[in-house]
Each structure stands twice: as structure tokens, then as C-alpha cells.
Amino acid sequence: MTAFIAGVLLIIGAIFTTIAAIGLIRLPDLYTRMHAASKAGTLGSGVMLLAIAVFSGETDVILRCIAGIVFFILTAPISAHLLARAAYCTGLSPWTGTVLDDLKGKYDADTLRLTSTTPDDN
């Protein structure tokens, strides 16, 4: 039964990883590609590690898989955010079909900081 559950989890993880790979190829700009890689790629990798943990049944393997899943969940969003910020700082514009650019007009390119947007500053 554990082999069946592990197989199903591997297939689900492979599907999410494939979606992430297709997103990297098909999406129009860096920001949307990064979104696909960080969300679907993290989920796919995490589910595959979960499948390894279920199939193994050994405590040390399970702990390593859990540590890997936690590592993916903690590092992927942070690294994607930092890469997107670096791209925006260097002037890489979002895709022309992007509907909303929340940073447009609120970002100081000289200091590389957001300008204050609190109501007290108006």
C-alpha cells in the first residue's frame, strides 16, 4: 500500500514539476516565469520528497525529507522575491500585457528603496 501511495505522490510531484518547466518556457517575462518556478517547482519537489519519505519508512530518511521540504518552502519564496527585486532595480520592465505594476511611481531608482506611501506623508 505504501508503494502505491508513494507512486501516486511521485506522479503528482512530477505533474507539478512539469507544469513549472512548461511555465519557464511558455510564460512571457522573468516575473511570471519566476512565479511558475517558485510555486509549482517547490510544490512538485516537496511532494516528491514526501513520496520518498512514505516509501522509505526509515526515520532518518523521513527526517531528511521533511528537512528538505521545509528548506524548499522557506527558501523558494525569499529567493524569488530577491531575484524579482534585483530585476526591477536594474530596470527590467514587466511584460507589456501586465495589467498592474504596484511599484510604478513608488520606487526610487537612485536609492533602490520604495518611496514612502503612508497617508501622513501627503
Domain boundaries, the chain: 2-121
Give the model confidence (pLDDT) of 66-82 as tens digits: 999 999 999 998 999 89
Amino acid code (one letter) for 45: S
Spell out the CATH class of 2-121. mainly alpha
Q: Once rounded to an integer, what is the mean pLDDT over residues 14-19? A: 95
Taking the whole predicted model, whether its pTM rises above 0.85 is answered as no
pLDDT of residue 120: 55
Q: Which of 42, 49, 119 is nearest to 76 (CA)?
A: 42
Q: Which carries the bigger pLDDT value, residue 119 or residue 78?
A: 78
Give the integer Cα–Cα distance in Å for 16 and 44. Answer: 5
